[in-house]
Every structure is written in structure tokens, then in C-alpha cells.
Amino acid sequence: MKQLKQSELDQLARYIDDELDQKEKATFERLLGDNELLQEKYVSMMETHQMLKAQPLQIPSKNFTERVMQNLDLYTPPGLPFSIRNGVLLLAGVLIAGALALYLVGHGAFDGSVTISNPLNQSLSEKLLDRRIPSISFDGKMVVNAIVLINALAWIVLDRTILRPLFRKRMVM
């Protein structure tokens, strides 16, 4: 199905609004007489134009702006998707993780690197496998850094869930 070009639609809107000069108007009327699709669009747009012209223009009251500006403070911004209960649980988790990390660091749990070997290495390698299953080794500094990173992220989330809404409520009051 053939569609109208944007330039034809723009010219049709200008024709309906009576913004074309005599020469453009005559050229467009010839185009309108030849193009059936353009005629259908013209009828549709004229109906819409007439309906809009029939509606009275509504003017707001003189004190509309003043009333809106006075009532802006009554509406609080929408709350954050985090609840205060979740923020408190997050804070408790952060404190427990921090206390556990301090206890482990204080007792030397992360002083050396630790290797977790797989007990299946001996029996499987002798019978079935030619290669050994890899062992996992990690350094205590890596664990401490991960705990510190998680604590930092938790404090940021805590700020967003509890502290900002609390101070926002205090500012409104």
C-alpha cells in the first residue's frame, strides 16, 4: 500500500491552517484532486480540525500558578524502592561481617596463604585420571579486601535506604 510522504503531510497541514500562498495553494489543490490517499487524509484531518475548533479554549483561574506553587511542598517525592526494615537488616549484616573479619584478622586466620587440596586427587589419579584435579589456593589479603569492599558497598546502600529518607523527612518538618 502506498503511503504519503512527510512533505505531502506537512503541506496538507499548512493547507488546512491556510498558510499557503496562492501559487502553492493552487498546486496543492491539483495534487489533492489527483491523489485519492491524500484526499482521505484531508477529510480525516479536516474533521479533527473542525472538532478542535468547536471546543472552547479553557483558561485557568488567575491564582492557579500561586496555588500550585504553594502546594508544591505538600507532595513528597516518591520513596526509594528500599524499605527501612531492609536497611536495618543490612546494617546488622554489615556489623556482623565487620566484627567477624576483625576477630579473624586479630587471631591470625589470614596470616599465610591457604591451599585447599582435593582429597579425590590420590584415589582418582591412580585409577582413572592421568591429570590431577587442580587445587584452589587463595591469599588472606584477598579475603580481607573482599570483606572491606562488601562493607563499603553495604554502607552506601545503608545511606540510601535509611539515612537519606530520615534526613529528608526532617527537612520537610
SS3 114: strand
Whole-structure pTM value: 0.36
CB count within 10 Å of CB 110 equals 18
Is residue 142 over pLDDT 70?
A: yes
Q: 58 or 87: which carries more pLDDT confidence? A: 58
Mean pLDDT on 17-26: 89
pLDDT of amino acid 149: 85
Give the pLDDT band (50/70/90) at residue 111.
Answer: low
Is residue 90 over pLDDT 80?
A: no
pLDDT of amino acid 110: 66
Nearest Cα neighbor of 110 from 145, 137, 143 is 143
Q: 103 or 80: which carries more pLDDT confidence? A: 103
Highest mean pLDDT among 51-60, 73-82, 124-133, 134-143: 51-60
Question: What is the sign of the dihedral through the CA atoms of 56, 57, 58 and 59?
Answer: negative
pLDDT of amino acid 88: 77
Question: What is the sign of the dihedral through the CA atoms of 13, 19, 24 and 27?
Answer: positive
Q: What is the pLDDT of residues 40-74, one digit of tens each?
A: 999 999 998 889 888 888 888 889 888 888 887 77
pLDDT of amino acid 122: 54
Sequence ranges of the domains in the chain: 6-54, 84-172
Is residue 125 over pLDDT 60?
A: no
Give the pLDDT band (50/70/90) at residue 28.
Answer: confident
Angstrom CA distances, 172 to 42, 105, 167, 168, stand at 54, 44, 9, 6
* Paired sense of beta strands 114-116 and 136-138, if any: antiparallel
Is residue 121 over pLDDT 70?
A: no
